[in-house]
Structures are given as structure tokens and as C-alpha cells.
Amino acid sequence: PHDHITFANNRPIGGGVDRYEHRHDWRKGDNGHDALNVDGGASADAVLGAELRFVMGGATSAASAGGEAGLLRNLDTGGLLGGLSIPFGNSDTFPLDDSDGQQVTEGCNYGSDPTTASQVQSYPYLPHVAEGINAAAANEFTCISSSGPNNLLTDHTALIHGIALVPDDYAEMQQRGSMLVWSPRSNIVLYGNTAPVTAIDVVGVPIALGTDWVASGSMNMLRELKCADQLDATYFDDHFTDRELWLMATANGARATGAAAVLGTLAAGYVADIAVFRTDENAHDHRAVIAANVDDVVLVLRGGVPLYGDDALLATAFFGGSDCEAFDVCGMAKRACVARDTQGVANLAQVRSAIEQDYPLFFCETPEAEPSCLPSRPGAYDGVVDGDGDGDGVTDDVDNCASVFNPVRELEAAQGDADQDGAGDVCDPCPLDDGDAC
């Protein structure tokens, strides 16, 4: 449910510029790091092109921190909810008013105008918190969850990123009914690490997926699902089922954005936002979605209205999409209803031209220069090798969780083991209880 779509006018950073400890390092070029050169000035047509990218991947809604009328519902932007009668959310990039680059390890002396609880009590709240692997990133959670006027952790809060969370933090999230929005690709290429999602899941915190932005994240939700699936299979010991990964992109995304009563579920009484995927003998049920590319997306409906799909299907009288624009997608005849859905403000050729000034609308294979989903940090770890089966830089013979990726983070002196029972937090069934029955 999370993206910065006004930054759609950027190319991806591929393997990455650097590996950072905190988001302000790449924002500001702090602490000896190279800053990322990104521009947030995407034109209206480029934004619509980015929205079409998401639609082609089966998405109908996102918390995009911006957007244009038509195509995607933008659930954190007033007037762009696509007819839904729900409060729009707040994707708060700097809840601590720290846009100047403050990295604080103790206390909460950030900017002078942090977000207060009273400001966010009546709508879905998605703050960027704990984005990094150092003590300054970890301190952000302390400051948004402490008692007082700046306590932002509620049952309508979905933390974005949460890389530096520790067991006490996600236990607190579970108790308060909060969620996590996980952006694995962006986390991995920027920090060489990501949120401890296996442990977060074990304690009962719901997880949604977010693409973050095209610069360091995924170009559409299908690519983000593939990153999550790759990490799960290679680094997380197959912790998540296909259905659980699929839920991160559907029902949990709706829940994180406050839309769970109307979106994210195929049931009577819900809005007909539906994506249909092609299956085969190797990819069926939820795996068909995880394995899909844009040419495998047969039909996308938003509120029962077609947006994208197979030409032969959309052109039928039943779907009434004969006036939607036809084009070839990886050898498949498709249609996209850009002109109709934007009420003539734009058309397919227009938005495709705008977005492809920087990066193609779609790929038929692995996207060019796609940000890496392989965890690595120079001098620490660089993938699975003999003697280090989870690729975290700690040899199996001394690794407190040899099957699940859990490198030593800068915020900790050793691999996380909050209850000191010898089982690392990320594979401990009870990360806060010395035992296996909690």
C-alpha cells in the first residue's frame, strides 16, 4: 500500500549506490555516504504512467503519497479515493519533524513540530519509522510510541519500513493493534537488510507489502511480491506460505490503509476491485499471482469497471471496453482504458511516452537495472555461501539462527536474542520468553 509516486520520473539504482545505516545518510549524504540523486517532480502524465504500471500488475489502490484522477485509487490523497466513502490516510514521511536529517540516539529532540496523536486520531496513519540499522533508527520507534501527546502507535497505525525494530517494539505493536508495511526490495538495496518480518509475524503483527518507489523499490506489486518470495525461500527458511504473501498485497494492504471494510476481499458487500491472473500447471492458486508478469494479468476491475486486461475480454459487450486502447504486452494483445478512465485528460500513448522518458512502462523479463533483492553489505555478507546457509555473515557453527537471515545490526552488539535463550529473535517461537511455549 505504500509508494512515492511523484518520484516516478526516476530510473532504478540497480545494485545500489552505497549501503547505508539510516535514511538520512542517503537523503543528505551524511556520515561519509554518497547521497541518492532523486527528483520528485514527475509530471501528471508520468504519474498516470506509473499508476498504469501498477494497474498492469493487478493493483487497483495504493497509498501513493500523491496521484492523479483515474486509474489507481490513491488512498492517502483526498479526492482520489475513486468513489470510496472512507477517510483518506496520511503517509507521514517525517512524523518526528526530522526532514533536516536529525539522527538522535537518546531522547526525542528532533524538529519543533512533530506529529501529535490528536492530529492522526481520526484517519489511517502510515508513518515512516525506524528506517535504518543503527541506534538512531531504533530510537524513532521509542519516540513515536511513548506515552504523551506524540504517541502515534494505535490500532489504525501501519509503520512503514521498521527495519530497526526489536522484539519489545513489535510486541508493543501487537498489543496496540498496529501493522507493518514491508518494502523488502528498497530496504535490501539501501541497507543490505530489512525488517525482521519472521519475528514480527510470529508475535502476531499483520504485514502489508509496499513498493516504496521506483528508484530503490519495485516498479509494480508483482515485482515486490517476487522479492518477498525470493527472500522467503532463500533467506527466511520458507517462513511464509504463498497465501500469506498474497495477503500482504491484498487484504493486509487494505487493512493498513483503513479500507478493509470495502477493499481487499472478494465477498458480498465489498467493492468489486478484482484482478484475474492466468494459471498453468506450474503456477496456480496463490502461486499464480506471485509468479505472474504483466502479460499474465487477464483482467483488472476497479469498482467493477475495467482498467486493463486481455483484448479479447475487454472488447466484449459484457465488459464494454471496445473503446479502450489496444497494445501489445509481451506478445499478448491487451487493452488499457486510460482515456476513458481519465475522462479524456490523457491517453495510453501520452502516459506511456511520459513515463518511458525515464523507464519503460513494463518488462517481459526481469526489469533492467532493477534494485537488488540480494542482501549484502561490503565486508560483512554477500549472499549464501558454504558454511553460512542463511547468508548473514555469521558462520553456521556460531549463528544463533542458522536457517534465517539475521546479521548483526549496528544498533546491536551481537545477533538479536532478546530473551537470551540462545535462539535468535527471527527464528524464536517466543522471542520475548525464555522457552518455546509462550
Residue pair 170/205 in contact (Cβ under 8 Å)? The answer is yes
Cell digits for 337? 482504458
> Where does CATH 3.20.20 sit in the chain?
5-256
If pLDDT is split at 50, 70 and 90, which confidence band does 422 have? very high
pLDDT over threshold 90, residue 1: no
The mean pLDDT value for 27-43 works out to 94
Residue pair 295/332 in contact (Cβ under 8 Å)? The answer is yes
Core vs surface per residue 2-39: b (16+ CB within 10 A) or e:
bbbbbbbbbebbeebbbbbbbbbbbbbebeebeebebe
Residue 423 is predicted with a pLDDT of: 95
Phi, psi of 119 (to 5 degrees): -75, -20
Give the pLDDT confidence of 96-149 residue by residue, as tens digits. 999 999 999 999 999 999 999 999 998 999 999 999 999 999 999 999 999 888
Residue 284 is predicted with a pLDDT of: 82
Closest alpha carbon to 232 in 183, 198, 272, 201: 198
In a 13 Å sphere around the CA of 168, the CA atoms on its Cβ side amount to: 8
Residue 380 is predicted with a pLDDT of: 97
CA distances from 127 to 52, 80, 83, 141, 145 (A): 25, 20, 25, 10, 12
Give the pLDDT confidence of 364-392 residue by residue, as tens digits. 999 999 999 999 999 999 999 999 999 99
Name the 3-class secondary structure at 209. strand
* CATH number belonging to the domain at 5-256, selected among 3.30.420, 3.30.70, 3.20.20, 1.25.40: 3.20.20
User: What is the strand order of the sheet 305-310 is part of?
Assistant: 274-277, 297-302, 305-310, 332-336, 325-329
Residue 280 is predicted with a pLDDT of: 84
